[in-house]
Amino acid sequence: MPRSHTYLLWSLLALPAVLILWQALHSTDSKIYGTLAHPAAEFAARLMIVAMMVTPLMLFFKGSEALRWLRKSRRALGVAAFAYAGLHVSFYLTDRGTLARVSEDLSALYVLAGWSALLVMLPLALTSNGYFQRRLGPRWKSLQRWTYPAAALVLLHWAAIRDWEAPAEALLHFGPLIALQAYRVWYWYLRPRPQRRIAEPALVRVTARVPK
């Protein structure tokens, strides 16, 4: 990817964060951090979903240049998703104010799922660069597959918020990803494949000479 495209991509990914931070710093609302924690979390989830949808979408649109570009940008999307998750956590901690209040929240399923998702995403974000990809070799791909448990925890965190008050929004966002990943599993492992015909061995003709 040309360097100018990389700068443009990161500028676009950072723009919502800049707007959210500007609103946080200029608001007089005492609960603004709790309010802004939600859009930061939504951006984190959406970027994660987009990054994970690219590969299964390429099974449908194999010649798409846009998807090839997105595939090359998945690492940036994943790191940006973690950055927005960090922003979400920062707002949450600021809103709660004390360690005691944060500790009390750990009894809630959605809070525990959120912290667990962040812990799983941390090593993925830290190793999402060429250095660790070369250093870890084949193990790098195995590590990056932990994105799937992280996504499941994010879904649980979103759906279970406020005692499962409105899980439909979370399912609406993750539904396309779940469907595409299910299709991907079917395509590679479950779909019927045409049986290969076994070539019949060629008959060797032996010409016998009859003595006169």
* Position 91 pLDDT exceeds 70: yes
- Confidence tier at 168 by pLDDT (50, 70, 90): very high
Q: Check residue 127 and give its pLDDT.
A: 94
In this structure, the number of other CB atoms found within 10 A of the CB of residue 126 comes to 11
Q: Check residue 155 and give its pLDDT.
A: 96
* Position 190 pLDDT exceeds 90: no
Higher pLDDT, residue 163 or 156 = 156
- Confidence tier at 80 by pLDDT (50, 70, 90): very high
What's the burial of 212, exposed, middle or buried (CB within 10 Å: 0-12/13-18/19+)? exposed
Closest C-alpha among 169, 131, 176, 126 to residue 146: 126
Residue 5: what residue type?
H
Q: For residues 46 and 66, give the distance between their C-alpha atoms in angstroms, rounded to a whole number.
A: 18
Q: Check residue 1 and give its pLDDT.
A: 63
